Amino acid sequence: MSTEFIQAPKGHAKAGFALITSEAELRAHVWEWRTANEIIAFVPTMGALHDGHISLIAKAKRHASKVVASIYVNETQFAAGEDLDTYPRDHEGDCKMLKRAGCDLVYIPEKMYGPHHSTTINVGGPALGLETDHRAHFFAGVALIVTKLFNQVQPDIAVFGEKDYQQLLTIRRMVSDLDMPVRILGAPILREQDGLAMSSRNRYFDGTGREIAGKLNIIMQTCAKDILDGYDINTATKKASADIIKAGFDSVDYVAVADTHSLELLSGTLGARPARLLIAAHCKGVRLIDNCAVG
């Protein structure tokens, strides 16, 4: 990796941009910031950054005096057969983006789990259903890595994107239930010109797959409008599922409408209840998730 990034020696936090790989060095930085009464915001990532990630850094900077980002491809949220080994990685490019965005510290731990690690965290409430129906392991892995990172970084604030809306609510529930002193902020979804939600996995697409993927947002917005216009939720979501397949997608995991705060699934007509439309579908070997507010 390029040597332009500051490697802070243990026990001393240098000014400017720092790239750190050890927990001890991270804690030294955090301790120095704490003694200076800095407000620390944290943006955890798995790398392969895009403008959506950088928008999280921008939001973090508006709420804190120091911003930490982490890069770690978390093995506990991948099941057998998923893309752990092929998940895109570009640490040097990511660090350059984060430095330009004004991030103060990038933490890239070499490992997060010891050989005898045996602790798990299971969150209920908003973590149940939807993603869990198709990736039963996922939120346990997310909850575990986020808890470990919160313990290491000790942030006042953490920022997560609304594209992973169920994940955002799951983390909020975990933080509340476990009395973690971290304020969780959500950041709006950033989209490409055709409406496709920005995602690191979009790099997997060839030209044909990318063209098909761009239709997902159009179908989602049409479904949301139909529900707002008084259509029965089950009727509207079934039509959206059919439209996704007609557009060239391989399969649909779910199209569902849920309460904005609890993620309780809704049916019938919406009325005045705040809701979220959530979608997961497969396009040419790439699994896409997306969501939008309804009302």
Catalytic (active-site) positions: 53
CA-CA distance, 96 to 224, in Å (whole number)? 38
Contact yes or no for 162/187 (Cβ under 8 A) = yes
As a whole number of Å, the end-to-end CA separation of the chain is 47
DSSP bridge partners of 161: 187
Which amino acid makes up residue 37? N
